A and B are shown apart, each in its own frame.
Chain A
Amino acid sequence: MRKYIDLFTNGILKENPLLVIMIGLCSSLAVTTNIANGIGMGVAMTFVLLMSEVIISLFRSLIPNSIRIPVFIIIIAAFTTIVDLVMKAYTPALSKAMGVFIPLIVVNCIIMGRVEAFSYKKTVADSVADSLGMGLGYTWVLCAISIIREFLGAGKFFGFKIVPDGYQIGFFSQPPGGFFVFALLISAVLAINKAIEKKGGKK
């Protein structure tokens, strides 16, 4: 049990896909102008990651090594199509707001990276723990970025107006604000990870 908890928490901070490994950045900055988009993208991504990791680790002994990459791509693309169609049907507004970024889940390096480095070699249970941890790690960063950007840029929290008109900082809802908030978040997580390491060293 301990092992699964370790695998699960690994993705949240220590090996956070966005802030530490720095893969799968594109979608995280583009859609995070409000919280609903951030959560939607996080859930879509976690679903594709979970399903692809489970399927690939189930069939890992059947997939020949030499054609594994095309096989992975087909599996990932199939689940992305499912997410795309489901979102188009049930949450059309969200699907429209994210536009091309839903199909782009296919080429999100997080999924390809985890599938290749992890679930192709590990058991199904390991893969489930890993994908949920990575998915959650991705989602919390998205939420954090979008909370900051929505609050400072539009003066809103979850769509409710908090800051009166005229006191918003438009910079944060523009593209440069995305880069800037992300830079500060990386800096914070690097500092936290360093602090944790120091503490571990003293023990």
Chain B
Amino acid sequence: MNDLLKIFLSAMLIDNVVLIRFIALCPFIGMSADVKKSVGMSGAVLFVTVLATATTWPMYMYVLKPMHLEFLQILTFILVIASLVQLVEFYLKKSAPALYGAMGVYLTLITTNCAILAVTFDVIAKGYGFAESLTYAVGVASGFTLSLVLLAGIRERIKIAPVPPFLKGTPILFVAAALLSMSFGGFAGMIK
């Protein structure tokens, strides 16, 4: 239990996907225009990350590894994720239209979200078991949520703040991200 908590916290705070590891920057910049949108996107990411990890981990361990097909890892993982996203989209459209309305638009964007592919690769590279992998997936997705919502909040302040003219627009976002990243650097060393 203690180990799982450690994995969760270090995935969420210490090795925050966006701010420390620079993964999934495109949605971080593109989707943080307002808080509501960023929450929708984060929900979709959490859902798909966990689902994708739960599918690709057994697949690697029980299909690719016994058959010595490890070199097909990239190809199979991305295909699994892409088709999974499609399936989820169909399923939600049919049986949970309310939920689909809330995160449908984000689902299509998610296939090219690096965080998901990165998680599925990470858990294999780190040699995690199944439960550890799922915990790690939830941790990474929560870290993504945290940073996205934080940046969205900052962006709403930036709108009314006096920004130096040469930093107007996107540059100021990256400066804000740098400051956020610096504060997340403070978590380093929290868990040994």
Report which A residues bind B (CB closer than 8 A): 22-27, 29-30, 69-70, 73-74, 77-78, 80-81, 84-85, 99-100, 103-104, 106-109, 112, 174-180, 182-184, 186-187, 190-191
Contact = CB atoms under 8 A, between A and B. Distances in A.
A73 B83 CA distance: 11
B78 A106 contact: yes
A177 B30 CA distance: 21
B174 to A, nearest CB: 3
Interface residues of B, number: 44
B105 interface: no
Contact of B75 (A22, A29, A77): A77
B148 to A, nearest CB: 14
Given A80-B74, A81-B75, A107-B111, A22 B171 contact: no
B20 A107 contact: no
Contacts of B182: 174, 176
A174 B183 CA distance: 12
A107 B117 contact: yes
Contacts of A84: 74
Contact of B178 (A69, A106, A176): A176
Contact of B21 (A23, A25, A30, A107): A30
Nearest to A31: B22
**Which among A27, A73, A103, A179 has the greatest number of chain B C-beta atoms within 10 A?**
A179
B121 A103 contact: yes
